[in-house]
Each structure stands twice: as structure tokens, then as C-alpha cells.
């Protein structure tokens, strides 16, 4: 019976993702983005509750991945399309589909590599990628030119990249001070420009830090050799 609690939280993640899609259809983009962020909170709780209650299971892991694909892959893709990608014709279709597809690939790779990849996430986790796109849309900013499709495409690619993102469990990938300082400065500057970026800034910071931390790690490797 105890397994019902974490599975219910996982299902809530899916429900919130569906609510985000429905809100997008209704043109309520800000509300849709909030539903995506709320889904991330639910997603973060289910695993912790399962471990606390000692009811972790393969069923729960599979259910979690299916729900994540809807809430952080499909919902943000549809939201991005309705918000601005629709103005780019067939390219908008491709970018939205690319984001959702990369999310599915990211989840499949995570499930396969669970036993071998430890101490870090290979590629940007799909909840972070989905929330970056959703919280950017919350700002209501519609960049000129091709900037928005490029942004969505970049964060889609980050999910399937081999960039190492910290899991903050005290093991694995080294957290380097210079990338951290640069990330804090840039995210702080974004907040300085617009206080509305209070939700966007931390998700963007995490995505940026992984890139910088990995790049600086390459220099560490060269200095050792």
C-alpha cells in the first residue's frame, strides 16, 4: 500500500503535464509554464518519497519516465510551438518535434545507463530542459529573428549530449569554482535585468554550469597529460 504514495506523485506529474498542454491550447501560456514547473516539483518528490518509504520499484521507474516525457518533453514542445515556433512554418514543426524526440532519447539512455553512469547526469536532465523552455516563455519575451528556435534546439541537443551535469549527491563529477563563478555572475545579471526571471534564472544557470564545468574539465585533463 505504501507504494501508492510515490506512484500517486508520479501520476500527478503526468496530470500537471496534461494541464500544461490544455492551458497551451487555451492560449494561457504563463499558466501552462507554471504547470510544467509544478510537474517538476512533483517529479522531484516521488523518488525521494519512494526511497524514504523503501518502496522503490522498476514499475515506478518506468512510470516516471513515461510521465516525464509528457510533462517535460511533449508539453514544453507544444508550448514553444504555440508561443512562437508556429511563426516559422515547417521549421517550427521540426524544432518542436526535435525537442520532444530528444527528450525521449534522453530518458531511454538514462534508463539503460542507470547501472553504469553514476555521480552525474549524462546530458541535461529532461525536467531541467523542459523547465528552461517553459520559464523562458513565462517571461513573455519574443526574440527577433531565429533566436527562439535556436534556443529550443540548443536545449534539445543538450539532453542527448555527453555533457556531464552534477547530481549534487556529493560524488562523481567535480564541481569547479571558475565555472560556478561565471554561472553565478551571468544568472545574477539576468535577474538584474528582469526580476521576472526568478524562475528562469536557476534552470538556465544549471544548464550553463554543466557546459562550462565540462569545458573546464577538458583543460584539467590536458594539464594532467
The answer to whether position 160 is within a domain reads yes
The answer to whether position 157 is within a domain reads yes
Domain count along the chain: 1
**pLDDT less than 70: residues of the chain:** 1-2, 115, 169-173, 221-225
The answer to whether position 89 is within a domain reads yes
- What are the b/e assignments for 188-199, b being 16+ CB within 10 Å? eebbeeeeebeb
CATH value at residue 96: 1.20.120.1760
pTM metric for this prediction? 0.91
The answer to whether position 191 is within a domain reads no
Domain that holds residue 108: 4-166
Q: What are phi and psi of 48, to 5 degrees?
A: -65, -40
The per-residue pLDDT for range 145-173, each reduced to its tens digit, is 999 999 999 999 999 999 999 887 656 66
The answer to whether position 83 is within a domain reads yes
The answer to whether position 78 is within a domain reads yes
The pLDDT, as a whole number, for residue 221 is 54
Amino acid at each position: 500500500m505504501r507504494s501508492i504514495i510515490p506512484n500517486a506523485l508520479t501520476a500527478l506529474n503526468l496530470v500537471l503535464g496534461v494541464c500544461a498542454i490544455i492551458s497551451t491550447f487555451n492560449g494561457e501560456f504563463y499558466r501552462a509554464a507554471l504547470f510544467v514547473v509544478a510537474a517538476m516539483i512533483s517529479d522531484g518528490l516521488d523518488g525521494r518519497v519512494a526511497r524514504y518509504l523503501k518502496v522503490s520499484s522498476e514499475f515506478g521507474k518506468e512510470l516516471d519516465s513515461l510521465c516525464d516525457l509528457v510533462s517535460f518533453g511533449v508539453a514544453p514542445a507544444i508550448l514553444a510551438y504555440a508561443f512562437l515556433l508556429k511563426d516559422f512554418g515547417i521549421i517550427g514543426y521540426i524544432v518542436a518535434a526535435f525537442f520532444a524526440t530528444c527528450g525521449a532519447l534522453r530518458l531511454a539512455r538514462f534508463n539503460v545507463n542507470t547501472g553504469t553512469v553514476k555521480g552525474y547526469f549524462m546530458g541535461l536532465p529532461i525536467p531541467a530542459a523542459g523547465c528552461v523552455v517553459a520559464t523562458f516563455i513565462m517571461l513573455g519575451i519574443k526574440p527577433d529573428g531565429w533566436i527562439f528556435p535556436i534556443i529550443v534546439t540548443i536545449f534539445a541537443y543538450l539532453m542527448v549530449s555527453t555533457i556531464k551535469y552534477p547530481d549534487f549527491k556529493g560524488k562523481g563529477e567535480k564541481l569547479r569554482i571558475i565555472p560556478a563563478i561565471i554561472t553565478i555572475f551571468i544568472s545574477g545579471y539576468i535577474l538584474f535585468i528582469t526580476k521576472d526571471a526568478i524562475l528562469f534564472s536557476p534552470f538556465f544557470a544549471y544548464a550553463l554550469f554543466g557546459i562550462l564545468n565540462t569545458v573546464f574539465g577538458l583543460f584539467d585533463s590536458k594539464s594532467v597529460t
